[in-house]
Amino acid sequence: MAAPESARHLLAQNEHPYPPLPSVLAALAEAGADLHRYPDFRPERFAGIVADWQGVPAGQVVVGHGSAGVALDLFHAVVEPGDNVVHSQPCFDAYPMFCEIARAEARPVPLGPDARHDLAAVAGRMDERTRIVVLCNPHNPTGTVYSWAELTEFFRRVPATALILLDEAYVDFALDWRAPDVPDRIAEWPNLVVLRTLSKSHGLAALRIGYALAAEPVARRVRDHQVPYAVNRLQEAALVAAVAAEDEMARRIAGIAAERERTGAELRRLGWAVAPSATNFLWVEAPGDHAPLRAELERLGVAVRYYPGQGVRIAIGEKDANDAVIKGFTAVRP
C-alpha cells in the first residue's frame, strides 16, 4: 500500500505536498523541551482546544491517534461480535480492517456508477444488528461528495440503533460544499458522528491528530474506551499552532484545489474519465490493465495508488509532480 520511497513524486497516500508551516515547526520544537513530562491522563485540555475551535461543548469531542484511531475507538465502543458495519467498497482501507478487529460482520456495498455511494443499496444492507454505517464525504478513493440535503434524506433511513460515521477527512478541500455548522448537525442527529483530521488539509499526517464530534452520550461512550494519555504534548502544540494559522492553511488549500482542477481538466482532455473531486486527489477510472500506465508513471518517478480493475487514485502534488502525472497519462491513452 505504501508508496515506494524511491519515487520522486509521492502521490499514493493523499498527503499534503508541503511540509508543516514554520509556526507549527516552531511550536513543536518548543514543546519538545517538555517531553520528559506526561501529557494529560485524560486529554481534557486537548479536547477543550478542539471544542473552542469547532464551537461545541468539550463533552461532544473525542480526540485520538489520528481520525483512524478515533474511528477504531468508536468501533471498540459500540460493536459487539456479530454486529455488522455497512460501508462502501472501495473505501479507506482501514474500515474493513476495523470490522475484522472489532469482529463485526463487514457489509461492503459497491459504489454507484457515478463513483459515489449507492445510498439506496447502503440503506438496503442495514438491519437491527447494524451498529455503524460509514460514509466518507468526500469519499476516498473517488473524491466525490454528496450534498447535505442528499445525506440527510439518507440519515432518515438509518435505524436509531446504528451510528452514522460521517468521515470528513477531506472536507476542507470541498470548497463548494455547504452544510449546517457541526453543533446544529449534532443537535438534529443524535446518532451522527463527524470525523475530522489534521492529516490532510493541515498536512500533519505523521503527527496523528484526529477528532470526532458527536452528541454527548455517544462521545462519552467512545472516550470511556480510550487508552490513557491518548494524545501527547507534540500533538497539542501543533494543534494550537495549526488553528492559529488557518488563513495560511486556507491559501495552501486553494492552491491545491486549483492544481486539482488543472490536472483533472488535462486528464479529461486526453479522454480519461476523471470523477469530479472535492478532495486533494483525483480518481481516474481505469478498469483495464494498469501495467502500461504503471510502467510509464514509475519511469517518471510517480507513485500513485492502483485499484486493480477499477481505477487509479492520484494525490495532488506540487506543479512538477502534477505535470509528471499528465505526461504519464498522455503516453498511455485510455
Q: Which residue ranges make up the site for ligand PMP (CB under 6 A)?
A: 14, 66-68, 92, 136, 140, 167, 169, 197, 199, 205, 210
Closest distance of CB 66 from ligand PMP, Å = 3
Q: CA 36 → CA 24, 39, 43, 145, distances in Å? A: 20, 10, 17, 44
Q: Give the Cα separation of 176 and 197 in Å (integer).
A: 19
CB nearer to ligand PMP: pick between 84 and 235? 235
On whether the CB atoms of residues 134 and 165 are closer than 8 A, the answer is yes
Closest distance of CB 300 from ligand PMP, Å = 24
Closest distance of CB 193 from ligand PMP, Å = 12
On whether the CB atoms of residues 79 and 130 are closer than 8 A, the answer is no
On whether the CB atoms of residues 281 and 315 are closer than 8 A, the answer is yes
CB nearer to ligand PMP: pick between 2 and 160? 2
Cβ neighbours around 134 below 10 Å, total: 27
- Closest by CA position to 70, among listed 184, 183, 195: 195
Cβ neighbours around 205 below 10 Å, total: 16
Closest distance of CB 175 from ligand PMP, Å = 18
- Closest by CA position to 217, among listed 185, 192, 183: 192
Closest distance of CB 251 from ligand PMP, Å = 22
CB nearer to ligand PMP: pick between 173 and 266? 173
The closest residue (CB) to ligand PMP is 66
What angle (nearest 5°) sits at the alpha carbon of residue 268, between those of residues 266 and 274? 115
CB nearer to ligand PMP: pick between 140 and 144? 140
CB nearer to ligand PMP: pick between 88 and 130? 88
On whether the CB atoms of residues 323 and 261 are closer than 8 A, the answer is no
Closest distance of CB 207 from ligand PMP, Å = 9
CB nearer to ligand PMP: pick between 43 and 266? 43
CB nearer to ligand PMP: pick between 63 and 266? 63
CB nearer to ligand PMP: pick between 193 and 266? 193
- What would the DSSP string read from start to end of 291-315? HHHHHHHHHTTEE-EEETTTEEEEE
Distance of CA 298 to the CA centre of its chain: 26
Closest distance of CB 82 from ligand PMP, Å = 25
Angle between the N-to-C axes of helices 216-223 and 66-78, in degrees from 0 to 180, rounded to the nearest 10: 100
Q: Give the Cα separation of 241 and 220 in Å (integer).
A: 27
Closest distance of CB 85 from ligand PMP, Å = 15
